Amino acid sequence: MGWKSPCAALFMGLTITPVATPGDLEGRSGPLAWRATDVQQNVASVDGKRHARHEFALTVKNTGAQALTLESYGAAITYFGLPLSEMTGTLQTTVPPGSESRLSFATLLACLDDAAACRFAEGPSWRIVVAGRAAGDAFTAPIEVTLPVDGASPIVRRESVRVTRPTSSPDPTRVAATFKANIILVPVSINGQDLTMVFDTGAQASVLSSDAARRLGIAVPADAPVLPLMGVGPAVRGPLVLLPPLRVGDYVVEHLTGVVTSLEFPFVVDGFLGANFIEAFRVSIDYRAKELRLEAR
């Protein structure tokens, strides 16, 4: 079973609002100096549904002594610690020494309720890799930037998921998982309470049931960002929260984002361990031996 977010769309666009804190939105990578400007968040309608549109302009400058050619780019977006979307494009633009080239990017996040304010409390993070040739040699210039929601707002930076192993058993990578009809059930401990969660390689995000969140005393802020999720069943929507540390086997996982929502499943589970949990590990699954192993990256 997989839960995925259909909320993100990516396309080119122009913006007009100046950035309030340019020192956080500029840098150098390879033969390029770069800066992010014109950051804003607006409301857009797509297929009759309201979306928050985050957009910005990326200007790159040739810092070398010879002309260079920008050939392509790839972009990956994360929001609230979750991967949302990826895209690639061609450029074929020649940039003389000291000159600049400008790209414009935007992403859409669906709003939960048309009656509520269609606005999110923080901006997305982007990783953009520009590829080209300079003096006959190929280069790639990775650019990573976390944006504010607009030019008058501060940048919200999130901690990366962290995995520690405070204790070690004789077989530290083996997790005491249960295999039930090819579904992997993992024992998890949060705030000292035992939970059962599905190890879901098809889920974009980790999910916690509303009932489990109440039992654990996890409060959902009124202004928590909300993303829609699609699974095998009907689409569901839920707010994003920062989960308390999770104990899985010998590992403790911190700074993990979870979606809190009601779950419909063939049997009772407390949630799903999705991609933002799984990508912190090297995973080995042996269905015949009914064995799950996790090794922290």
pLDDT at residue 54 greater than cutoff 70 = yes
The fraction of the chain above a pLDDT of 70, given in percent, is 87
204 contacts 82 by C-beta, under 8 angstroms: yes
- The residues, ordered by sequence, that sit 6+ positions from 81 with a Cβ below 8 Å of its Cβ are 158, 160, 161, 255, 256, 257, 276
The ranges assigned to domains in the chain are 9-146, 162-296
pLDDT in tens, 8-38: 333 322 222 233 344 678 999 999 999 999 9
Which CATH class, in words, describes the domain spanning 162-296? mainly beta
* 189 vs 48: which has the higher pLDDT: 189
SS3 letters for 171-212?
Answer: CCCEECCEEECCEEEEEEEECCEEEEEEECCCCCCEEEEHHH
How would residue 150 be classed by pLDDT, with cut points 50, 70 and 90? confident
Cβ–Cβ < 8 Å for 115, 168: no
More confident residue, 262 or 168: 262
Indicate the pLDDT class of residue 203, thresholds 50, 70 and 90. Answer: confident
> pLDDT at residue 167 above 80?
no
More confident residue, 173 or 1: 173
User: Phi first, then psi: what are they for 173, rounded to 5°?
Assistant: -85, -15
Of 172 and 26, more confident: 26
Using one digit for the tens of pLDDT, what is the confidence trace for 128-140?
Answer: 999 999 998 999 9
Residue 23: predicted pLDDT: 61
Class of the CATH domain delimited by 9-146: mainly beta
pLDDT at 230: 54
Of 5-14, 143-152, 277-286, minimum mean pLDDT range = 5-14
**pLDDT confidence of 55, banded at 50, 70, 90?**
very high
Q: What is the pTM of this model?
A: 0.75
Burial class (CB in 10 A: 0-12, 13-18, 19+), 168: exposed
Predicted local distance difference test score (pLDDT) of residue 11 = 31
User: Mean pLDDT throughout 107-122?
Assistant: 74
CB 7 within 8 A of CB 228: yes
Give the lowest-confidence range in 51-55, 174-178, 186-190: 51-55
pLDDT the model gives residue 66: 95
